[in-house]
């Protein structure tokens, strides 16, 4: 005599769809219950009617808690949306959305996806994390936070250089054209050797911890087709990414030695995309 509760694992590995009860009655031979036998039979019938249910117990939905950003906090640039999740049968994934727009899904702890806050306006926003368990039930958590990237640089604070300017003052410069690298002392003057561009769409991140890497690592595709610029900067340059073996994204801090062995007061980052501008 034994019982199996709904949801318990059966000998074949499947969960019991409902309560199961056994009683030692063998009908191929004449038999008469004794008083004890009838008492146990009646007790089994009474217990089964009162306690043996027709289905497995209700599963508990997963619980999820957003750990970043915290409620009321302020974020900027690219951040990692992060959450913890628990469930009685197991969490299969946690998906994230900002203002109901899907951001991404993670299926392993710690549950986290990268999100670029520059894609939305400064102000109040909501992030929602949805955890799903292995029977399809879900639980959610929502947090309100603030994006504060601030306005873009104005008044010549940063110059994105796409053509050779007649003159520049001592301001930070973002150099986007490889043929300008030598004009700013970032590389030597020999085109095709000290600087140039090549067919390609991917970069290899050299310094994943640098802010310019935006949290990426390994090989990253930055465009479809086209060409990427490269240079061979001075040893003082901080190289963020390479196109093959050549530096493609790098920065030089104020006062560091340039390739022409002079110094420059503003910082100068490079950007790898090579294209025609009108």
Longest dimension (CA), the chain: 113
Res 167 pLDDT > 60: no
pTM of the predicted model over 0.85: no
Give the pLDDT band (50/70/90) at residue 169: very low
Give the pLDDT band (50/70/90) at residue 166: very low
The pLDDT, as a whole number, for residue 95 is 97
- What is the distance between the alpha carbons of residues 22 and 3, in angstroms, rounded to a whole number? 7
Give the pLDDT band (50/70/90) at residue 120: very high
The pLDDT, as a whole number, for residue 182 is 74
Superfamily covering domain 63-147 = Immunoglobulins (2.60.40.10)
- Using a pLDDT cut of 70, give the percent of the chain over it: 76
Q: What is the mean pLDDT of residues 145-166?
A: 62
Q: Do the beta carbons of residue 100 and residue 76 sit within 8 Å? A: no
Which position has the higher pLDDT, 65 or 234?
65
Res 115 pLDDT > 50: yes
Tokens of 172: 């930070």
Q: Fill in the DSSP letter of residue 98.
A: E
Q: What is the CA radius of gyration of the chain?
A: 33
Which position has the higher pLDDT, 176 or 126?
126
- β-pair partners for 166: none
The mean predicted confidence, pLDDT, of the chain is 78
Per-residue pLDDT tens for 228-262? 888 888 777 888 888 888 877 777 777 666 665 44
Res 52 pLDDT > 80: no
Tokens of 164: 């050779």
Per-residue pLDDT tens for 192-217? 888 888 888 888 998 888 888 888 88
Give the pLDDT band (50/70/90) at residue 129: very high
Q: Is 22 buried (19+), middle (13-18) or exposed (0-12) by CB count in 10 A?
A: exposed
Under DSSP, is residue 241 helix (H, G, I), strand (E, B) or coil? Answer: strand
Res 125 pLDDT > 90: yes
Give start-end residues of each CATH 2.60.40.10 domain in the chain: 63-147
The pLDDT, as a whole number, for residue 152 is 58
Give the pLDDT band (50/70/90) at residue 56: low
Q: What is the mean pLDDT of residues 106-123?
A: 93
């Amino acid at each position: 005599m034994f019982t199996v509760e709904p949801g318990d694992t059966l000998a074949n590995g499947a969960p019991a769809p409902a309560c199961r009860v056994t009683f030692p009655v063998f009908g191929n031979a004449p038999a008469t219950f004794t008083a004890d036998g009838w008492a146990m039979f009646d007790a089994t019938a009474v217990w089964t009617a009162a306690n043996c249910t027709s289905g497995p117990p209700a599963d508990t939905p997963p619980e999820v808690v957003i750990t970043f950003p915290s409620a009321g906090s302020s974020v900027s640039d690219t951040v990692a949306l992060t959450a913890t999740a628990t469930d009685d049968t197991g969490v299969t994934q946690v998906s994230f959305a900002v203002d109901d727009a899907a951001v991404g899904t993670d299926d392993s702890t710690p549950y986290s996806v990268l999100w670029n806050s520059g894609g939305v306006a400064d102000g109040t926003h909501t992030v929602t994390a949805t955890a799903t368990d292995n029977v399809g039930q879900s639980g959610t958590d929502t947090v309100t936070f603030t994006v504060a990237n601030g306005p873009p640089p104005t008044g010549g604070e940063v110059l994105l250089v796409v053509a050779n300017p007649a003159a520049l003052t001592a301001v930070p410069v973002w150099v986007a054209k490889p043929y300008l690298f030598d004009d700013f002392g970032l590389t030597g003057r020999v085109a095709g050797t000290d600087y140039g561009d090549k067919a390609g769409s991917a970069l290899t991140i050299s310094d994943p911890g640098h802010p310019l890497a935006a949290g990426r690592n390994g090989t990253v595709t930055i465009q479809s087709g086209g060409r990427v610029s490269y240079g061979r900067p001075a040893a003082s340059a901080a190289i963020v990414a390479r196109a093959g073996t050549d530096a493609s994204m790098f920065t030089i801090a104020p006062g560091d030695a340039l390739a022409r062995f002079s110094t420059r007061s503003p910082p100068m980052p490079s950007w790898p995309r090579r294209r025609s501008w009108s």
